[in-house]
Structure formats: C-alpha cells, structure tokens
Amino acid sequence: MTTLRLFLKIKTAGNSFLNMAKYIRKWFPVHITFFILILFFILIEIFIDSDSSEKVRDISNVLVKIIISVIGVIILFSFTATLIPYILYKKSGRKPEVKFHYTPQNNVVCEIASDGLQYFFTGVIKAELTFDGKYTISFPLKKLKSGQAQGTKELELPDIKNYDLDTVTLFFQDVFRMFFLWKTFRYKTSVIIFPAENSRIAITSKPFALDDDKVRTDTIHHKEGELLHFKHFESSDDIRRIVWPVYAKTKELIIRTIEMQNMYASKIDLYASFCNGYHGALNRETSNAILNRYKSSVWTVYQSLKEENEVCFAPDQQPNITGEYQHEVSAQIAGMSWHTKQIEEYLKTGNLSVCCISSLIPAQDVKKILDTLDSNTFIVFISLKSFLWKLSFRGIIKSIFLIQKPEEKVSRKWLFSAMRIQILNNEKSIGKALAEGNIKYLEIK
C-alpha cells in the first residue's frame, strides 16, 4: 500500500512538472531558438580560447565578430518583426471576427478575419482558439490582397456537443521562431458539433393520427376536403368550384374546399433516454465516447423515421442551445448529456411510438417500463457489442512507442475498465428482457 501511494505521488508530481513545463514553453516570450544561438556563441568562444596558435586566434576572432554581427542582425530583425505588428495592432483597438461554417458533411470550419494586422519582415501571426477552457486549435493568418488578414481551419473537436468559445489569442512572432508576443480576446459564442449519420435502418412503427388522437394508424389521413367543408367565394378563388345549387337558393357564392392529403396528419413521437446508471463509475473519455456513439445512433433513428413520417422528438432534458440552431433536432441531440434520472418518469405517456435506450440504463428499470408500454411501441436498443475497437498485438506495441489515436486510447481504457464486465452483463439482461417481452424492438450493435 505504501509503494502504491509513493507511486501515485511520483506520478502526480511528474504530471505537475510536465504541465508547468508546457505552460512555460507556451507563454514564455522567448523560444528555444534564441537560447540555441546563445549556446552557439559560448561554444565558439570556448573553442577560440582553447586554441594556442596566435595566428589562428586572430583569424578566428575576425570570423567570430562577423558571425556575431550577422546573428545580432538576425536577432534584431526577429525582435522588430515581432514587436512592431504587436504594438500597431494593440493601438488600433480592433478585434478579430470569428465565424463558423458547416460543410455538407456537418463538419465545422472556423474562419478568423481582422483588419489592422501588419506583417513586417516576414513576421508570422497565428490565431489560437480555446473552447471550454481546455481544447485549443491553432492556425496561421495570411495577408490578403484587400489588406485583411484571414485564416480558416476545420475544427477537430472530440465530442458531439455544444462547445463554448472562451478566448481567441493572436500570437505575433518572427519567421525564425525566436520571439513572440500575444494578445487575448474574450468571446461569448458557441459552436455545435452535430451527430454523424450512420447507415439508415428499417423501423416499422404505427404513427398516431393527430396530436389529440390516441388511435394508431397505418395510413396517411385525409384532412377536411371536398363535399365536407365550404367557404364564401373570394376574388382569388376558382369560379369553377362555385356551388351553383346553393347560389340558386340563397344567392350566396359558396365554393368547396380542395381535398388534401397532409403528411403531417400522421406523426411519430421519438423518445431517447440518456439515463446512465453508471454515472461517475466510468472515466470521462470512455463515457464521452459511448455518449457520442449513442447520439449518432439516435440521430440515425430520427432520420430513418423521417423518410415516411413526421417525427416529433421528445427530449428527456432541456439542452442549453441558443442561436439559429436551437430548434433543430440534431442540435438538441448534440446538446444532450448523461444523467441519473429514472427512465420510468420520462416515459409516462400514452403516445410513445419509438424509444431509444442504451446499455447504461439499469436492466431492472427497463423491465419496469416494458410492462407499461403499448404493444405497438418500438424499442431501439443501442448496445456496446461493437464499441471495442480491434486491438492487435502489433497495435499494442505501436501504442507504447508511438502517439496513440484518441479512439485507441479510449479502446484500451474500456478494455481494462473495471466496469466493463458489469455493463456488458447489464446489456445481456436488457436484451433478454426485450426478447421475452411482448414488444417490438431492434438492437443496433
């Protein structure tokens, strides 16, 4: 036990030291290139002093003076290329403009543009965005012909969620990467990473007729139509639809309304429970990876149902989504998070058409709701059977000596997680309860 505590203390101290070193390396305004030049000077001086030949010493002194002069000019050049753009931009009082664009594949592209940025002596200006206080993305800004500086980059954020943009930092540095200065701007905006759609799935569920109708149907309903409803004639109406027998009796121009088929007359209520009975037991990376997969699966279910019906998504929480996407179903799904509220409270409704559940819902809670659901309710069970990525011996060896991909790290943590066996057993119990219950279901692996 003492050895374990000592190991944990050493590991904590090591992590603290590495974090401090990273912090100094990032924010200390002098790069290591400058210190390499200084070391180069010192080594030359040592070499000259150790030479006993006076003639060689004189020649060496001349060469050293030339080298020092050249290096001095380079240092002055680098410092000026850093300092002047920084001072000019700071005095201008401008602030970079940040925009987010979505590609057809729902990838997010960030664009930063600003006026007043000056490039002296091939200086470099780089922008760094910080999301949620810990995720950083950097890319350079290039000078356009219009005089404006602009840079774009596709964001590679790890999770499907709503990210808050905290700060944008502009780094002014020289082309030799010796010095840099920075200016930080605070922002209050957010960007949504939408769920990716997988292959469409086949779901057969009887929709409800209307919001106030509890009867299920297999067909699309007719709305009010011909021979059922009439209205007074208006100047924009077709005279061919005037009911002349009525006019002969009442002297009023009455027309028949056109019969319509309304796709929205039949609808499906989609429920998706984000209940997590193992909240806190899983590490954050694994929990987020499972959540990402679950969100993508729920979005796929929604898109599959929407091909033939109007789908009403009934969230089990109110995500904090603002702006133009707050009413989008994909944005609502992206804003969901795990919670510990019981699924029984969420599914207390008589209009439940389709419901998505995950392996993290306790099996005993699933058994309770199966007894209360309508026999026509369709359950989509999103399991974790294929969640474990393939790990080979070669891949394990590569992960020791090379940089791991994020999914490989999560896969290894999930493989050796103490909760994995317990969750998989819970998943088997849910599958058994669904198979034995009098209800239609589909398992997505």
The residues, ordered by sequence, that sit 6+ positions from 338 with a Cβ below 8 Å of its Cβ are 274, 275, 276, 279, 287, 291, 360
DSSP 199: S
pLDDT at 235: 66
Q: Say if residue 276 is in the same domain as residue 246.
A: no
pLDDT at 128: 92
Of the candidates 143, 178, 193, which is a domain's last residue? 193
Asked whether 274 and 339 are in contact (CB, 8 A), the reply is yes
Q: Say if residue 47 is in the same domain as residue 184.
A: yes
Using the predicted structure, report yes or no on whether residue 93 has a pLDDT greater than 80: yes
pLDDT at 1: 42
| Domains in the chain, number | 3
Q: Say if residue 288 is in the same domain as residue 361.
A: yes
Least confident of 94-108, 343-357, 388-402: 388-402
More confident: 285 or 50:
285
Structural domain contains residue 204: no
Structural domain contains residue 303: yes
Using the predicted structure, report yes or no on whether residue 239 has a pLDDT greater than 50: yes
Of the candidates 193, 218, 251, which is a domain's last residue? 193
Structural domain including 243 reads 230-259
Q: Say if residue 300 is in the same domain as residue 393.
A: yes
Structure tokens at 39: 């070391």
Q: Say if residue 252 is in the same domain as residue 182.
A: no
Q: Say if residue 107 is in the same domain as residue 148.
A: yes
Q: Say if residue 126 is in the same domain as residue 164.
A: yes
Predicted model pTM:
0.73
Q: Say if residue 175 is in the same domain as residue 244.
A: no
C-alpha pair distances (Å), 135 with each of 14, 175, 253? 22, 26, 69
Question: What are the tens digits of pLDDT across the range 72-81?
Answer: 888 888 888 8
pLDDT at 245: 78
> Where does the pLDDT of residue 186 fall: very low under 50, low under 70, confident under 90, or very high at 90 and above?
very high
CB-count exposure of residue 350 (10 Å: 0-12, 13-18, 19+)? exposed
Of the candidates 166, 193, 220, which is a domain's last residue? 193
Structural domain contains residue 271: yes
Using the predicted structure, report yes or no on whether residue 123 has a pLDDT greater than 60: yes
Structure tokens at 3: 């050895």
Structural domain contains residue 425: yes
Structural domain contains residue 201: no
Q: 346: number of CA atoms within 13 Å, CB side?
A: 22
Structural domain contains residue 151: yes
Q: How far apart are CA 172 and CA 178, in angstroms?
A: 11
Asked whether 346 and 366 are in contact (CB, 8 A), the reply is no
Long-range Cβ contacts of 89-96 (<8 Å, 24+ apart): 89/116, 89/117, 89/118, 89/170, 89/172, 89/183, 90/183, 92/116, 95/185, 96/127, 96/168, 96/170, 96/185
Structural domain contains residue 218: no
Cα–chain-centroid distance for residue 105? 13
Q: Say if residue 318 is in the same domain as residue 284.
A: yes
pLDDT at 417: 79
Q: Say if residue 367 is in the same domain as residue 435.
A: yes
Question: What are the tens digits of pLDDT across the range 6-56?
Answer: 444 454 444 455 556 555 656 566 767 777 777 776 776 666 655 555 666
Using the predicted structure, report yes or no on whether residue 228 has a pLDDT greater than 60: no
Structural domain contains residue 329: yes
pLDDT at 262: 44
Q: Say if residue 277 is in the same domain as residue 249.
A: no
More confident: 169 or 124:
169
Q: Say if residue 417 is in the same domain as residue 353.
A: yes
